[in-house]
Amino acid sequence: MGLRKELTKDQISGISTLSQVGKGNKEIAAITGVTLCSVQRWTKKCRDAGGSVPLPSEKKRTRRPRVTSTRTLKILKCQVDNEPRISAKELK
């Protein structure tokens, strides 16, 4: 399973508004261009919250930490710039 595409705040508020107006999930999905599963998830959150959906806060994406330092990368780049045909074995 892959990561879900995060919806924008405008899309979420649009789904919430259309849900409150009385549109069905399939109609909302067709209007907004969002998948039916996402619309169902957000309309359920809207219904459980009592009409208004608390918009998700901006969260920083985590990533794998660097293995090499920036200094090491700079040195390697200089070596490759000086001698472009150098092999990886010779760089060490």
Contact 16, 45 (CB under 8 A): no
At 12-60, the pLDDT tens digits run 888 888 988 888 999 999 998 999 999 999 888 888 887 666 666 666 6
Determine the residue type at 58: E
Question: What burial letters (b/e) apply to 62-77, b meaning 16+ CB within 10 Å?
Answer: eeeeeeeeeeeeeeee
Q: Could you tell me the pTM of the whole model?
A: 0.55
Outline where 1-92 has alpha helix (H).
9-21, 25-32, 36-49, 70-82, 88-91
